[in-house]
Structure 1
Amino acid sequence: MKKNKNIYTKAVLGLGLIVAIAVIPACKKSFLNVPEQGKQNSAVFWKTAEDAGKGVSAIYGNLRSWENTAFPAIAIESMGSDDAEKGSTPSDASFFNDFDQFNVDPAQGNIGGFWSGQYRNINYANQVLDNVPAIVMDEALKARYLAEAKFVRAFSYFRLVRAFGNVPLRLTTPKDANVDYNLPQAPAAQVYAQIEKDLTEAAEILPQTYPAADKGRATKGAALTLHAKVAMYLKKWSDVATYTNQVMGMGYSLLPDYEKVFRLENENGPESIFEIQCVLLPGNPDASNSQYSQVQGVRGTSGVDGGGWGFNVPTADLAAAFEPGDPRRSGTILFRGTTTPEGDVIPKVGDNPMYNMKSYVPFKLYISNFNEGAQQNVRMLRYSDVLLMNAEAANELGNTGQALSSLEQVRRRARQGNPDILPAVTTTDQTALRAAIYKERRVEFAMEFDRYFDVIRQGRGTAVFGPKGWKAGKNEVWPIPQTEVDLSGGVLIQNPGY
């Protein structure tokens, strides 16, 4: 089992820094279809508007890398939760159990992989922010490119700060190896402040929509939604309400069929606020490098070329968390012995009783010599998250009516016209309503890499994850990669308890 390499990226890793000297081709959208730049030196780049466009495309292209969507992301963002467990065969990638049971060693490679993946995103964004301002080009397009870079930088720092706490805050590309390379960690509060600054500035410039050729780029709605999420982690409830109210007025809507939200035909649809864009380019397996679907796919499916790897599978506890009749259960969990809405028969026997339905791609779309499901976009921000953040903020602010209204919109869609299931929540007690919103978040976003950090920011880590080995005062964050601590010569400080 081996991850694919992106042959178009040349980078140097060290001390929490990725220095990129190339621009990578990205995805199927026309704005991301750029020629190979693997041998183009940065010293002769950043001269034209075309260079600026390629630089921004490289940011989006890197988001679908192994480090951002496969094993490292699963380890850091999913495996600690009560929704997911290792999967596959018992002997394969057994290190996932260390994340699941909170016994992980700081030297474990996927910790460093996630760290470096986020800093590579940040480095690409910083290159755009450092170099594009000097390019003579259309000023409105230049401003938009810079706003897109700020959004992705904020997105990556958010993933870092909630995973590790204090992290180096790098806002420019390094110029002096003796000064710029080995930055100390910034306090988490300072990192969050920079995230909020980037998102505020991005939202002022980014458009609400794009023409078809540019669909999938960061929008104003994406910047506001991510800002609401950041504010929710900071318990800035008035800000959460403000930002979500703005997004709720932008024309987003919930697809009637929950299961269809995650299918290929609805990528970048009316419910989508931001997705990592993935692609299968005929004749070019190396550029079709997303392994998000492959690593989570049904393992050893008979008659399918290779099948999936079968990792990051739902738990029995998650399966039991859905209310009777909730169609989100089958829209989230792909059970052995069932037939998918797309007609794929899942054998009754196999390594695991269930798999992640949200990463599923119909088997007929698998192509030999390509990663299975390489074309599956990764849903990162959805409109239902806006509604449930709005409900939570309204409840914390004492606006019970608004909280119930936003919560009901999510439950009404899940009900799918069946009045006999998922009755409307009617409690006006703040504590009871808070618990109802927490539960709704779990079943709505299960297997979307959100549950683990959701529980921690809610202050329920011990209650929910304690039986798995989670300890307060330690497991609120993961360890800083030991390789980074060692390379820093002691400048980086390991998190307590590791």
Structure 2
Amino acid sequence: MKKHLHRIILIIIPAMLASCFDIAEKPVGLLDPQAIFRTPKDVEAVIFGAYGWIASERLYGRQFVSALMLRDDMSDIGDRGTPAERQQVNDFNMDDNNYMVYQFWPYWYQVISAANAAITGAGSLGVPAAEINPLVAEARFIRAFAYFHLVRLFGDIPYVDFFIADAESVSKLNRTPAAVVYKGIRADLEFAKQWLPDKQPAEVRSRATKGTAAAYLADLYLTLHDYTGAYREAKWVIENKSRFGYDLEPDFQTLFQAPQANDMQEHIFAIDFLGLQIGLAGANDDIMAPMTGIRGGDAPRSGWSVIVPSQRVFDTWDGRDYRKQVSFDTTILIGGKVVPYTEFPNVRRPHIAKYARFAGNSNAEGRDSDQNYAAMRYAEVLLIAAEAAGELGGTTNEAMGYVNEVRARARNRAGTLTDFPADVDPKLSKEEFISLVLEERRLELAFEYKRWYDIQRRKLGEVAFKDSSSLEPHANFSPGRDYLMPIPRVDLQTNPNLTQNPGY
């Protein structure tokens, strides 16, 4: 996606779509597909608008991804002076009026609304399938991406796969069973895999391709414990990596050093932010660097110390692992002097470095960065394949090989080859190997918004938060309540057909 076009779309199209669909309120204005869709370029513009919603402050710029981080056992609250809604998410004492949820819930539905508008508009053009279906496939991927997040966080949710033409109907939506939502996601991803191109123009990774759709199908099947499906789709991506231009970046640090290349080989799907470019309604406003950065440091490395790992997350990570060095900041410049974390002025713990260390073109706190956030990268596909193969066949050479490939990259310490982490021990039992893969995911994908979904799908909450080995203890964690978040109260008040999740 060309930078200037991306900037226009981020500023104009999201504002136009904002009124299309808000699950909590009546739409104040609806797009008429017959009126605005004249050519495939119009469909493409609305698709870009949907991408623009994803790259917004309420989703990948702060609210949504912060909630995912705080929910897991890797990211804790640092400064307890931060607003209460963040502490509620972190401490498992949310109510149905949590402001973070109130912020990101309707935005995901605006993404869905834009995708539905594009799909309906494309169908109204009368263009041959070979010409229009790649755009329909892209819109359907975006819709699947949004619902895949929503269904995992909330369970049964309103599922809308059509263009909203009747404003009153929004206030009468029912919750759709999660199984039906997953079925819709799978259908969208399968259509996307069939019709999307192998590569987008200039090989940008912020637009979906066949490989993107297949990678998310693998993730979907893994979530549903369909290990045959997960293995099949992940292996297909791996076997076709040259076709799609995928591979591991040689140096792990490159993944978190803005500005990243738009065609970075490890990125399968990236959320692209443009440095110091802010649009309407929070479009392109990335705040993850200050949220995770160290309060009190010299500019441009000063943050807010909001999302900070517990000390035990740092202490239990083997110091020989280069990924630890990339993932944590343990020193900062204050008054021109290098200060260790034990002397940080606000929260005296190591901080997350992946977003704050190299924020690229950004303000003095790293806000409005140049980051291309990897929503899916090739290393994750390798680990999906490893987990699925392990579930199907145990500790096989193939399953170990996928993990060893990830570990081999981790042994490249900025150009210096080391002997840690070692290859997988072939004597591991199946259970031990699966535990190893989950641990490898925890380290490889640390602070990348993945860990909570692993805890949820594997039902690890009581071990992660209540066991003596817990990295971030929360004695009040309740498996009957806390694997899902609450439906926002305002929606329950607006729509009597909606019901609340248990425990809220």
Shorter-chain TM-score bucket reads 0.7 to 0.9
Q: Is the 8 A contact 1:72 1:113 kept in 2?
A: yes
The residue aligned with 1:458 is 458
For 1:287 and 1:479, how far apart are their aligned partners in 2? 25
CA distance in 1, matches of 2:339, 2:207: 35
Question: 76, 83, 88: which is aligned to 1:85?
Answer: 76
- The correspondence of residues 122-141 of structure 1 with structure 2, limited to 5 A, is 122-135=112-125, 137=127, 139-141=129-131
Shift of 1:273: 0.4
Matched, 1:176 2:166: yes
Residue 147 of structure 2 corresponds to 157
How far did residue 238 of structure 1 move? 0.5
**What amino acid sits opposite 2:353 in the alignment?**
M
Distance 1:431 1:17, change over 3 A: farther
Please list, as runs of the form range in 1=range in 2, the aligned pairs for 1:72-471 lying within 5 A after superposition: 72-87=63-78, 89-135=79-125, 137=127, 139-212=129-202, 215-251=205-241, 252-263=246-257, 264-280=259-275, 288-304=284-300, 307-337=302-332, 349-352=344-347, 353-360=349-356, 362=358, 365-367=361-363, 372-399=367-394, 400-416=396-412, 418-426=417-425, 427-466=427-466, 467-468=473-474, 469-471=476-478
Q: Retained in 1: the 8 A contact 2:151–2:181?
A: yes
Instruction: Report SS of the residue matched to 1:9.
Output: helix
CA contact (8 A) 1:76 1:114 kept: no
* Preserved contact between residue 269 and residue 375 of structure 2 (Cα < 8 Å): yes
Counterpart residue number, 1:479: 486
Change beyond 3 A, Cα 1:323–1:367 = closer
1:122-155 CA distances to partner (integer Å, 9 max, x unpaired)? 1110100111122255753421111111111111
Partners of 1:362 and 1:93 in 2: CA distance: 26
Equivalenced residue count is 470
Q: 2:501 aligns with which of 485, 495, 498?
A: 495
* Cα shift at 1:180: 4.8
TM-score, with length taken from structure 1: 0.87
Give the superposition deviation at 1:41.
7.8
**Bigger mean CA offset, 207-216 vs 156-165:** 207-216
Cα distance in 1 between the residues matched to 2:192 and 2:290 = 33
Q: Choose 478-487 or 397-406, whichever is displaced more.
A: 397-406
- Paired residues of 1:83 and 1:317 also in contact (CA < 8 A): no
Partner Cα separation in structure 2 for residue 454 and residue 311 of structure 1: 23
Distance 1:256-1:155 versus aligned 2 partners, 3 A rule: same
Q: 472-481 or 345-354, which moves further after superposition?
A: 345-354
CA distance in structure 2 between the partners assigned to 1:128 and 1:50 by the alignment: 11
Is the Cα–Cα contact under 8 Å of residues 21 and 42 in structure 1 kept in the other structure? no
CA distance in 1, matches of 2:333, 2:398: 39
Question: CA-to-partner distance for each residue in 1:453-475, whole Å, 9 max, x for gaps?
Answer: 20121121111123312111111
Kindly indicate whether the alpha-carbon contact (under 8 Å) linking 1:203 and 1:224 is maintained by their aligned counterparts in 2.
Answer: yes
- Check whether the contact 2:279–2:285 (CA below 8 A) recurs between aligned residues: no
d(CA) in 2 for partners of 1:384 and 1:363?
22
Query: What letter corresponds to residue 441 of structure 1 in structure 2?
Result: R
Alpha-carbon contact 1:334-1:356 (below 8 Å) kept: yes
Q: Displacement of 1:374 after TM fit?
A: 2.7
TM-score (norm 2): 0.86
Q: CA offsets per residue over residues 279-324 of structure 1, 9 Å max, x none? A: 13679898653333343333343243x9433322222232134234
- Between the aligned partners of 1:202 and 1:18, the Cα distance in structure 2 is 31
Using a 3 Å threshold, how does the CA distance of structure 1 residues 361 and 123 change in structure 2: closer, same or farther? Answer: farther
Q: Which amino acid aligns with 2:329?
A: L
Q: 1:282 to 1:148 in 2, by over 3 A?
A: closer
Judge which range, 66-75 or 462-471, deviates more: 66-75
- In structure 2, give the amino acid aligned to 1:253: D
Given that 2:196 and 2:210 are in contact with CA atoms closer than 8 Å, whether structure 1 keeps it comes out as yes
- Deviation, 1:188, is 0.7
Whether contact under 8 Å (1:18, 1:123) holds in the other structure is no
Q: Is the 8 A contact 1:244 1:386 kept in 2?
A: yes
How large is the RMSD of aligned CA atoms in angstroms? 2.9
2:125 partner amino acid: I
Aligned equivalents of 2:37, 2:442: Cα separation in 1:
44
Q: Distance in 2 between matches of 1:180 and 1:362?
A: 43
Distance 2:76 2:250 in 1: 30
- Please list every run of 5 or more consecutive structure 2 residues that lacks an aligned counterpart in the other structure: 1-9, 467-472
Q: Distance in 1 between matches of 2:32 and 2:303?
A: 37
92-101 or 475-484: which moved more?
92-101
Deviations 1:65-119 (A, max 9, x none): 11212442145311111100122x3212233121111001111111122211211
Give the Cα–Cα distance (whole angstroms) in 1 for the partners of residues 229 and 371 of structure 2: 33
Structure 1 residue 266: Cα displacement: 4.0
Which structure 1 segments of 5+ residues have no match?
Answer: 23-39
Letter in 1 for 2:424: V
Pair 422,150 (structure 1): closer, same or farther in 2 beyond 3 Å: same
Tell me the distance in 1 between the aligned counterparts of 2:401 and 2:379. Answer: 13
Cα distance in 1, alignment partners of residues 225 and 303 from structure 2: 39
